[in-house]
Amino acid sequence: MTVEIDNLTSQIQMAAGKAGEPTSFTQKRLSALKLMNQLAMPRMQEFSYKGWPIMPADGQLSLNFPQASDQVVQAAQTNQPDKPYFYGFAGTQLVSTNHGDQLKKAGVFCGSLAQAEKEQAAIVDKYFMSVVKPDEDRLTAYHAAFVNGGAVVYVPRGVEVKEPIELRLVQDSTAADQPLVFHLLIVAAPGARFSVMQHLMTVGDQANSANIIVEVVAQEDSEVHFSALDEMSAKTTVYHSRRAHLDAHANVEWAVGLMNDGNTLGDLDSELLGEGAKADSKLIAITAKQQHVGINNRVTNRGLHTTGLINQRGVVLDSSELIFNGIGQIVHGAHGSNAEQQNRLLMMGKEARGDANPILLIDENDVDAGHAASVGQVDENQMYYLLSRGIPEPIAQRMVIRGFLSAVLTVMPTQELKDKMLAILERKLGHE
C-alpha cells in the first residue's frame, strides 16, 4: 500500500489550519508527507518488529488533535507543589504548568510545541527535526508529518537552571485509534546548564501506537542532563528516538528507565560533533510477560577528543524478549577519542530471550575503545551469601537484581525517580 499524498495533503492542511498552526510549520509536515512513500521502516540489528502496529496503516493516516478524556487530564496534573518547573501533557494538550517567574526572567522558554511555533518561531524553524531528520526512514517522516503534540525547552546562553524541568506526558488510551505523535525539542544555547525529566505514562486500556521523538541540541560548553521514565501500557506500541547533537565541549548525560509494559522499539543516540564533546548514555530496561523490546544505544564520535560512554542493564522476566545493541562508532579523523560501552542482561524468566550486542565501528587509530557484554543468570554466590544470613529468597533475589542495576540506577537524578523505578521493578517481579 502507498500513502495517498493528495488526499492527506488537504486533510493535514485542514486539521493544521483549524488548530491555528503557522503555515511554515504545516509546510514542514507536507514535505515530510511526500517522503513517506520512498522511505522504508528502520531496521534494527538482531531484532524484528514485523507486524507490530507501530504506526497506523497507510489507509488510516490522518492528522488529529484529539481532546483528552478527564481521567487523562487529571493524571497530567501534579499534586506536588514542590516541583518548581512542571509541565503536564494530557495526550496532545498541555494542561498543567508550574512555571516559576525565575525561568521567565532568565529568558528560558518551556511550553507546548504549538505555543513555541508562535512565540519561538525562529527556534522551531531552525531546530525542529534537525537532529532526527524526516528523510531517515518511514517512522521519522511519519513523525514530522503527523506530530500532534509536543514541547519545547530553550535555555539561553550561560543560563543555569538548578531544579529539573519535569515534563509528564500522559498518553490517552481511553479510546482506541488515536495515535500519539509527540515531539520534545530541547535547545541548550552555549554554556547553558540544566536538566530535563521526561515521564511517559498511559491512562486507559485501549490499543494505540505512540511515536516519541526527543531532540537535544547541545551547543558549545552546554550541559544537559536528560532523564526519562517510560511506563506506557501493555497495549501501547512504542517507537521512540532520543538523540542529541553535541557541539564543542558540550556534555549530555542520558539516564533512561525503560519500563514500558508493551512492545517497544527504541533508539538512544548521541552525535559528538564538536571537539571535546562528551556523552554518557545510561539505560535500564525491564521486560516482562510476552513483551518484546529492542534498543539501540548509539554514540558516534566525530569531533576530536570526544568521549562516548554507554552503560545499559536489562532484566528479562517471564517469556519476554530484550535486545540491547550498543553501538560505538569512531569516524575517521576523530583523533584522541574514547568510546566505552557495557551491555548487560540478567535473564530471570525460564523462557526469556535476550541478547547484548556490542558493536564497535572504529575508523581511527589513536583512540581508546572498549566494550563488555554479558547475558547471565542471577549471581549464585551473591544469592548464597544473602540466604546464609537468613534473608528469604524473594528478598535476596531483589537485592541481587538491585545490585545488578545499581551502576545505572544510582545516577538517576532524584530519589523519587529511583523509588519509582524500584516500585515498577517490584510490580513486574510480582507476577512471575
Partner 1 sequence: MAKLEVKDLHVAVTDEEKHQTKEILKGVNLTMQTGEIHAIMGPNGTGKSTLSQTIMGNPNYHITQGDILLNGQSLKGMPVDERARRGLFLAMQYPSEIQGVTNAEFLRAAINARRPKDNQISVMDFIKELNKNLELLDMSDEMTERYLNEGFSGGEKKRNEILQLLMIKPSFAILDEIDSGLDIDALKVVAKGVNSMRGDSFGSLIITHYQRLLNYIIPDTVHVMMDGRLVAQGGPELAKKLEKEGYAGLRDELGLKVKLTDDED
Cβ-contact 204, 172 below 8 angstroms: yes
From the list 147-155, 208-216, 263-271, 378-386, the region that binds partner 1 by CB under 8 A is: 378-386
**Binding-site member from 357, 367, 385, 420 for partner 1 (CB under 8 A):** 385
From the list 81-89, 110-118, 334-342, 399-407, the region that binds partner 1 by CB under 8 A is: 399-407
**Least CB distance from residue 400 to partner 1, whole Å?**
7
**Least CB distance from residue 392 to partner 1, whole Å?**
5
**Least CB distance from residue 221 to partner 1, whole Å?**
33
**Least CB distance from residue 256 to partner 1, whole Å?**
18
Give the H/E segment covering residue 326: strand 321-330
Comparing CB distances to partner 1, the nearer of 79 and 415 is: 415
What are the DSSP calls for 13-73, one per residue? HHHHHHTT--HHHHHHHHHHHHHGGGPPPP-BTTB--TT--SS--GGG-----PPPPHHHH
The grid coordinates listed for 79 are: 499534586
3-state secondary structure 70-115: HHHHHHCCCCCCCCCEEEEEECCEEEEEEECHHHHHCCCEEEEHHH
Distance CA 87, CA 84 (A): 10
**Least CB distance from residue 320 to partner 1, whole Å?**
22
* 409 lies in the site for partner 1, by CB under 8 A: yes
From the list 61-69, 168-176, 240-248, 396-404, the region that binds partner 1 by CB under 8 A is: 396-404
From the list 102-110, 166-174, 179-187, 393-401, the region that binds partner 1 by CB under 8 A is: 393-401
**Least CB distance from residue 169 to partner 1, whole Å?**
29
Comparing CB distances to partner 1, the nearer of 331 and 383 is: 383
Cβ-contact 111, 151 below 8 angstroms: yes
What would the x/- binding string for partner 1 be over residues 104 to 143, using CB under 8 A? ----------------------------------------
C-alpha distance from residue 236 to each of 191, 203, 307 (Å): 38, 10, 35
Comparing CB distances to partner 1, the nearer of 17 and 376 is: 376
* 2 lies in the site for partner 1, by CB under 8 A: no
Distance CA 115, CA 120 (A): 8
Give the H/E segment covering residue 309: strand 307-316
Footprint of partner 1 (CB under 8 A): 379-382, 384-393, 395-396, 399-400, 402-407, 409-410
